[in-house]
Each structure stands twice: as structure tokens, then as C-alpha cells.
Amino acid sequence: SAVISQKPSRDICQRGTSLTIQCQVDSQVTMMFWYRQQPGQSLTLIATANQGSEATYESGFVIDKFPISRPNLTFSTLTVSNMSPEDSSIYLCSVANGGSYIEAFFGQGTRLTVV
């Protein structure tokens, strides 16, 4: 199993600012995933981050709004840029178990409130 640490666990931010969320994994993984979980909604995949290449974004999410870094096989960051209250959500980092993304491991999430 993989142990994932996310920082910060929560934050309250002013609209128009940016927040960078860090995800640290205790083992090397090829693919890392960033999800958003809005109140009462399902987990929605934002993007997939592979080390050494550009992140792949899902429909409705763009790099300018959610830039992602993946400098090595154990670390990734997601930035939420130019925030508005609609960005208030829980953001989760996830990794796959081995080569098949069935058992996904998740961090504890970052609870973001934009005021």
C-alpha cells in the first residue's frame, strides 16, 4: 500500500489568490491523480500527472486554472489559481496500486474555503 501525505489539510483563502497543494507519496509511483470533491458531489478527476511530462486534464479543467507539477516519482503539486468561492471544495491526491488503477490510494484531502 502507499501512504500519501497532503499539505495543507485545510485553508481559508481570499478570492483572487492562489493556493498550492502538495502531495507526497512514500514510494515511487508512475501516475498521480488530482480529484475535486464538492459538497454532495462525486469525486471528479481534474488531471493525471506523470513524471517528466505535461499533466493530462479532464474536460472542464484547464492548466491555467489548475497548474500541476510533477518533479519526481514521489511528489506532485496542484495549484488552484485566481480562486473564487466556486473553487471551495476538497482536493484529493491519489495514486494507483501498481500498473492497474483499481485500488487507488488517496491522501486525506485539502479542504479549501474561498471567501
Partner 1 sequence: QKEVEQDPGPLSVPEGAIVSLNCTYSNSAFQYFMWYRQYSRKGPELLMYTYSSGNKEDGRFTAQVDKSSKYISLFIRDSQPSDSATYLCAMREPEGAQKLVFGQGTRLTINP
Which stretches of the chain bind partner 1, using CB under 8 A? 4, 31, 33, 40-45, 48, 58, 92, 94, 96, 100-109, 111
Q: Which is nearer to partner 1, 4 or 78 (CB)?
A: 4
User: Whole-number minimum distance, CB 37 to partner 1, in Å?
Assistant: 9
Residue 100 and residue 90: Cα distance in Å, rounded? 25
| CB distance 55 to 68 below 8 Å | yes
User: Whole-number minimum distance, CB 16 to partner 1, in Å?
Assistant: 27
Q: Which is nearer to partner 1, 27 or 108 (CB)?
A: 108
Residue 101 and residue 110: Cα distance in Å, rounded? 22
Rg of the Cα atoms in the chain: 13
Q: Which is nearer to partner 1, 85 or 98 (CB)?
A: 98
Q: Which is nearer to partner 1, 14 or 52 (CB)?
A: 52
User: Whole-number minimum distance, CB 13 to partner 1, in Å?
Assistant: 19
Give one word for 103, left, alpha or beta, with left for phi > 0 and alpha for psi -120 to 50: beta
Residue 35 and residue 94: Cα distance in Å, rounded? 8
